[in-house]
Structure 1
Amino acid sequence: MTVDSTAPPRRRPKGSFGVQTPVSGEAVILESPPRNYEGPKFVANLLSLDRRHSKWVHENCLTDWAYFFLRFFEYSGDGLFWLPAAAAFWISPSAGTPDTRMFAANLFVSLIFDLIVVGSIKSFVRRRRPSYNRGHLVVVSLDKWSFPSGHSTRAAMVMTLFWLYTPLWRSLINQSWYPYLALRFENNSSMALFLLPLVEKHLLVIANCAFSIWALGTICSRVVLGRHYILDVIGGVMVGMLEALVAHFFLHVPTKVSELQHAYLLSKYV
């Protein structure tokens, strides 16, 4: 049997999985061909529904304006922002009070705990990110896994942790922030008339609403930007809230311990 060397090469089918050319300056993580799922049928149907609806949200909600707006939530919800920020506030020689430094220390511990938990779940589940994920820079190998969404766990954890410390914020408002503003603006009648009652009655509500809006924006951005599936962010929210409860009730760093560590770090490195 002879082989016709002049015959044109066969073309790859349109729907086949192949290497796509990434957009300049962006990293593309391709999804491998789906493997036969041998588990319960309803789980397979749920995953199929999840992929289909997540892609619909990405294709229909991502506009040029939404892209640049949602990138803010992507960067602000990244661990590369939160970890250094919490550590810097905690060890800063002049920032905050012992109570706020204690919160920064507990936030730092919670963020480390979040990295361990999310990394462990991702490496166990090993669900790949959507094939249409673009512009996501891979920093560590675990970042190619999709479930749960690390941004979603972090946003839910920070928001829940802030809520759990409501008595601390209310105490600081009544004992420190409000008296400071009242003394500063005692000769300004307009500020005393409008700003001070707002601080006394509504500052905590405004702060809670701001954190909730930021967390919701961060969570939704993961699906709209095509970074994760819907189930990834739902699972991330549940994991993040559970992390906050565990960190608050079992990994809590008291103010005295926080201040001792703060003094030690200052004497050692500052």
Structure 2
Amino acid sequence: MDSPQPPPPPPLPPSSLLHNLITFDTKLSLSIYTLTQPIFPRFFLKLLEISGDGRLFFPIILSVLLSPLPSTSPILFTVLVNLLIGSVLDLIIIGTVKHLVRRHRPVYNKHMFLTFAVDHWSFPSGHASRVCFIASVIYFSSDLVSDILGQLEVDLVGFGGYESVRWLNFGVVGWACATSVSRVLLGRHFVFDVAAGAGLGVLNALFVVNVLNCKMFFLVFQFLVVDQLFTLIHTDIGTYVDLFQLFKGQLCK
């Protein structure tokens, strides 16, 4: 009597597209990190890392909001509020995605101070998202930035308003690109982490500029400022409406 044949080995799992992409991303990121180590000074990459840190950005924007500058340029206040709201959204979006995906950082990542638990995860890059959001808001708000420079009587690099805005856009976009690339060169992230973070930052900026722009500010402005002025100086309803429309026309053009 023949002995029973052993069961056939289980079929090998098919190579998934996601697995191939992750493998390619890991190898590409390691190659870039290895090749660029002798080229770019680490202190310069660290400066870029610090410049895109939320622990630096939030105190700066809050300090400017509380300074006399917004009273000099009401449009500046709107742009600052957009940056603040979008940055909070950025933290929520990036933190949620990191918690859901849970991709580990590169094994060669060294000397990184982690503030939050989600910072242990690599996908997507929070730095890339933040700097691309900031640069995109400034770029998409070029007309408002031109008005702000005019109200503050600022003339960058000796040019007129249009040229000043063009150079400002060039500077912030270059800074965002350099900071995003530095995440791979420092070994903090993989290439796909940075690409995903940059894409989320641009989408966040589009949402803030086109959807939230002015609407939330005017709700706050109407209920906290204009209503108080109306109560204090007892203006008639016509003056109240004219005042609100004046500010709306100034800040939402």
- Decide: shared fold, TM above 0.5: yes
Residue 146 to residue 164, structure 1, CA distance change in 2 (3 Å)? same
In 2 relative to 1, CA 134–105 (structure 1 residues): closer, same or farther, beyond 3 Å? same
2:65 to 59, 84, 90: 90
The residue type equivalent to 1:109 in the other structure is I
Taking only the aligned residue pairs, the percentage that are identical comes to: 28
TM-score by length of 2: 0.75
Q: Give 2:202's aligned residue.
A: 241
**Number of corresponding residues:** 211
Which one of the candidate residues 16, 19, 23 is aligned to 1:41?
A: 16
Name the CA shift for 1:65/1:220 in 2 (closer, same or farther; >3 Å).
closer
State the Cα distance separating 1:86 from its structure 2 match: 1.1
Q: Tell me if the contact between 2:184 and 2:190 (Cα under 8 Å) persists in the aligned partners.
A: yes
2:86 to 97, 101, 110: 110
Q: Which has the higher contact order (CA 8 A, sep 6+)?
A: 1
Distance 1:262 1:79, change over 3 A: farther
For residues 260 and 76 of structure 1, do their structure 2 counterparts lie closer, same or farther at Cα, with a shift above 3 Å needed?
Answer: farther
Deviating more after overlay: 45-54 vs 63-72: 63-72
Does residue 1:66 correspond to 2:58, yes or no? no
Deviation (angstroms), 1:63 = 3.3
Rounded to whole Å, the distance in 1 between the matches of 2:102 and 2:121 is 6
1:168 corresponds to which of 133, 138, 144: 144
- Structure 1 Cα separation of the partners of residues 23 and 32 of structure 2: 14
Q: Distance in 2 between matches of 1:40 and 1:238?
A: 27
Structure 2 CA distance, aligned partners of 1:113 and 1:218? 20
Say if 1:201 and 1:249 are closer, same or farther in 2 by CA, change over 3 A: closer
CA deviations on 1:127-152 (whole Å, 9 max, x unpaired) are 01001100110111000000000000
Instruction: Give the helix-richer structure, 1 or 2.
Output: 2
How many Å apart are 1:236 and its aligned residue? 0.6
After superposition, the C-alpha distances for 1:10-34 in whole angstroms (9 at most, x for unaligned) are: xxxxxxxxxxxxxxxxxxxxxxxxx
Q: CA deviation at 1:85?
A: 1.1
Alpha carbons of structure 1 residues 230 and 210: separation in structure 2 relative to 1, 3 Å: same
Q: Report the Cα offset of residue 170 of structure 1.
A: 2.2
Return 5+ residue gaps in structure 2 as ranges. 1-12, 226-253
Q: Distance in 2 between matches of 1:90 and 1:260?
A: 18
